[in-house]
Structure 1
Amino acid sequence: MFPDLTRDDVFRIETRRLWLRWPRARDAAAIVRLAGEQAVAEMTARIPHPIEPLGTDSFVIEARRANAEGESLTMALALRSAPTALIGIVSIHADPDASGPHLGYWLGVPHWGAGLMSEAAETLVNAYFAYAGGTELTSAAITSNAASRRVLEKCGFVRQGSARQSFPARGGERDVDLFRLTRAGWSATRSDG
C-alpha cells in the first residue's frame, strides 16, 4: 500500500507545528500515559483502559513491522519543539470490513483543542493520496465525538451514514458515524485551498 519512501524508520513528515515519525520503543511510556487515559481510550475501538505496558511494546513492534513492509503507515506525533516526545498517533491501515484503507488517530488530552490532530491527519491523508497512489480512505468516529468528526470533515471526508461497530476494548458495539474520502474529493479540497 505504501511506497519504499515510507518504509525506512528515518522517514518523517514535518508540518508547521509537528513531526510525524515512526513510533519507537522509547515512546511506549508516553503511549501508556496518554492513550491509556480514559478520555482518550474510551473514544477508540482497540485501546484498553488501563493500557498494559507489554501491549504497548507489542503495538510499537507491530507498527514498525507493518510500516517496513508497506502494509500501513503508523506515525507518532511530536511537537517540532520536542521531536522525541510522543503526543499522539495517526495511521492508515488496511481494513477488510471497509471499501478502502482506514484512517485512525488519537491525541493526548493535554494537546486537545489546538488543531494539532487536524494538522496531522491532513498531512497523512495528503501523503497517502500523493505518494501511495491511494484511491479512497475510510474512517469512523463515535457519534458523541464531535471533535473527531470535525477532524475528518476538515480533511475532506464526507459522512456516509451511521452504523454499529465492534469496539473490542470497550466490550461491545458503539454507534459510529462512517466517513469516506475519495481521490477526487481529496483533489477538490486541495484545489479549493
Structure 2
Amino acid sequence: MQTDAAKAAYRRYASVYDALFGPVLQPGRKAVIQALRCRPGERVLEVGVGTGLSLPMYPPDVRVTGIDLSREMLEKARIRVRRRQLTNVEALREMDAEAMDFADASFDKVVAMYVVSVVDKPARLLSELHRVCKPQGEIFIVNHVRSSNPLVGAVEKSLARFSDQLGFHPDFELSSLVNGSGSVEHISNIAFFWKVMRVRNGVGHARPGLEAGKRRT
C-alpha cells in the first residue's frame, strides 16, 4: 500500500479506531507483549503504535519508543501517555517503518503491531526491523494473514481491491514474509485471524551509509 493511501485511511480511522478495532486486536497485542519477556532497562521499539492501545501493557521498568505513519493516530497516543502517566514511554514519532532513522542496533526488542499488511514492501520492513534491533535482541510480529479456509480466503481476496480504503491488505499472504527470508522461525495462532511471529535476528542488516551507533540525518 502506498504511503499516501495509508495516511489517508488512518486519518479517517483516528477518531474511531479504539472503538472499532480495539477489542478485536487486543488479544494479539497482549500475546505479543507477553512473548517479548521484557527485562528491566531494555529498550523496546513498537512499530505501528497507532493510538497507543498497547502502551499501558509494557512493564514500567522498560523504555518504550513508538512510531507510526499517521500523525492523527499519534496524537491520540500522546494523550493516552499523558493521561495514564506512562513515564516509561520515551518517544512517539511519526516515521516510515520502511525507512526508519534510528541507528543500527538501537533496541533490545522490536515489535511490529498489525503493520506488515499495511506497508508497501513487507520485505523492506522486515529488513529495517532487523537493522534497528541489536544482534542479540528479539523481533516479534503480530498480524492478520489470509485464512487457509477456502471460503474465508475467497472473501479476503474479494476485498483486496478496497485495500486503500480499508488501510490494509485483507488478503495479506504470510509467504510474503517467509519466502526467501529464512528468518520467521516461530508462529503462534491467536484469537480470530491473528498470528504472532518470532523472527530470528542476526548481523548483516545494516543499511548502506548508516553505520552502527550513528543516526541518519
TM-score, normalised to structure 1, is 0.37
TM-score, normalised to structure 2, is 0.34
Higher strand share: 1
Report 1 or 2 for greater relative contact order, CA contacts < 8 Å, sequence distance ≥ 6.
2
Larger Cα-atom Rg: 2
